[in-house]
Structure 1
Amino acid sequence: MNEHGRHAMETMQKHDPATFAQIADPETHFSTLGEEIQQQIWELSEQLTPVRGDEPPLEYVGLVNMAKLRAREMVYQEMIYADLPQEPEEMETTPLPQND
């Protein structure tokens, strides 16, 4: 299982244990999902990587790395986080005014 599959498995265990418990073979399921995630990240990062211009080499390396990180963020959102149950928002607590 690659890092993406492991992350997906740990995330589901923590945030959606009921659905995780219904998966008959988590090892196989998340190994396959991890490979699918990796493929999507590669494809999307290629699309997001800008064409090499006149920028210095290190600047271009930075642009390529940012494209990879952005692709990972987008694929994780779509393939891991989107199907998780919504967590309740924390309520703001403001003190009530005191009547003297």
Structure 2
Amino acid sequence: MNEHGKHAMETMKNHDPASFAQIEDPETYFTKLGEEIQERIWDLGEALTPTRGQEEALEYIGLVNMAKFNARSQVYQEMIYDSLPPEPEEMEDPLPQDEEDQH
């Protein structure tokens, strides 16, 4: 299991234990998911990487690294985090401080 599969498994264990408990073979499931995540990160990273222009080599390396970082963030959001149930504090909008004082 690659790092992406391990991250997905730990995230689901910690934030959605009910769904995690329903997975018949977590090792196989998260191994496959990790491979899918890696493939999507590679594809998106490639798409987000700008064509080399007139910038200095180190500047271009920075652009490539930022594309990879953005790809990983986007894929993790889509393939891991979006499927999790909202955290309790995310489900309700707290009243602004002024309104709380009036109640």
Same-fold call, TM cutoff 0.5: yes
Q: Distance in 1 between matches of 2:3 and 2:89?
A: 29
Provide the TM-score with structure 1 as the length reference: 0.90
Q: CA deviation at 1:96?
A: 3.7
- Corresponding residue number in structure 1 for 2:37: 37
User: 1:48-73: CA deviations, max 9, x gaps?
Assistant: 00000000000000000000000000
Structure 1, unaligned runs of 5 or more: none
Whole-angstrom distance in 2 between the partners of 1:86 and 1:96: 27
Alignment partners' CA distance in 2, 1:88 and 1:14: 14
Partner of 1:83: 83
- The residue identity in structure 1 corresponding to 2:6 is R
- SS at the partner of 2:23? coil
- Counterpart residue identity of residue 4, structure 2: H
What does residue 14 of structure 1 align with? 14
Alpha-carbon distance, 1:88 to partner: 2.0
Cα shift at 1:89:
2.1
Q: 2:23: which partner in 1? A: 23
Q: Which runs of 5+ in 2 are unaligned?
A: none
Runs of 4+ in 1 over 3 A off after TM superposition: 90-97
Counterparts of 2:42 and 2:80, CA distance in 1? 16
**Shift of residue 37, structure 1, vs aligned partner:** 0.1
Q: How many residues align?
A: 97
- Higher helix proportion (structure 1 or 2): 2
Alignment of 1:57-76 (within 5 A): 57-76=57-76
TM-score (norm 2): 0.88
